[in-house]
Structure 1
């Protein structure tokens, strides 16, 4: 096993993640032709896209948003044509959330943008990408759990 990771190394990793996130921000120059979303809307959209048919309650819990903030984000996403609210077929009193075709198109553009930016930055050397993804996925799960 390697040397223990110091707090300085972990802090540098966090800084690198923040710098990378700023570089791949779709609202930078040149801006992408996608529906602009706030940070909260993007968080909710990501969850709904990954969990179609989810409920508002499950979405609030998973995103750690207060119900009022989630409600505002959902209203906006519905108005932007990104999320469909449908009655739950098992219980019409409940609501299920689904990404729309417009959302799928926007997400495809965004993922293409991210992939191109990272592929360009790697300059043909994708060694370690899968290991980096595994590490970042583990960190993501640990921060949320």
Structure 2
């Protein structure tokens, strides 16, 4: 990989992290602020209502034992609800509670105020959002491919 291109990719990742650190944490979150992993799980469920626990664990890059702890914590906080999967009695479907939806609404209000006026051109904002969403989708797809390759290599080694 070209060193200049590699440096530009590093700068993109660095800036994404830096921007995220400068966004305010809303004061009125109930029952209080969540960990980054909890937010990642809830964000996935927000975008995929009724998602399976397995899919949410994979999206959060968590092994099932760690994910179970996160899931239990979010359920105990009243932010996630689980329903039995009618097609698979062992499976669970995940949904955000009204409390979690209200928290996301508060986050939208606060983060929108934090960023207001920084990108004036709505079309430019659409381009930035589309680009970042595309990067996220490609990273998720790459991770899934890498995970499935590791699993298949592990199975082949056991045979």
TM-score tier (shorter): 0.7 to 0.9
Q: Could you list the runs of 4 or more consecutive aligned residues of structure 1 that deviate by over 6 angstroms after TM superposition?
A: none
| CA offset digits 1:44-103 (Å, max 9, x no partner) | 111111111111112112222110111011111001100011122344443211100001
Q: Is the 8 A contact 2:53 2:91 kept in 1?
A: no
* CA–CA distance in structure 1, aligned partners of residues 110 and 54 of structure 2: 31
Structure 2 stretches lacking a partner, 5+ long: 142-159
- The more displaced of 47-56 and 85-94 is 85-94
Residue in structure 1 matched with residue 139 of structure 2 by the alignment: 143
For residues 4-23 of structure 1, the C-alpha deviation after alignment (integer angstroms, 9 at most, x for no partner) is: x7222222222211110101
Q: Using the alignment, how far apart are the partners of 2:91 and 2:124 within structure 1? A: 44
Residue-pair matches, total: 136
Where in structure 2 are the equivalents of 1:33-52 lying within 5 Å?
Answer: 33-34=28-29, 35-52=32-49
Moved more, 124-133 or 61-70: 124-133
* RMSD, aligned CA: 1.8
In structure 2, what is the equivalent of residue 129 of structure 1? 125
Deviation at 1:139, TM superposition (A): 1.1
Partner of 2:7: 8
Residues 1:76 and 2:89 aligned together:
no
TM-score, scaled to structure 2? 0.77
Per the alignment, residue 111 of structure 2 pairs with 114
CA gap of 1:91–1:16, structure 2 versus 1, over 3 A, is closer
Match of 2:101 among 100, 104, 109: 104
Q: How far does residue 37 in structure 1 lie from its aligned partner after superposition?
A: 0.7
Q: Tell me which residue corresponds to 2:55.
A: 58
Q: Secondary structure at the match of 1:106?
A: helix
Q: As a proportion of its length, which structure holds more helix?
A: 2
Rounded to whole Å, the distance in 2 between the matches of 1:72 and 1:133 is 32
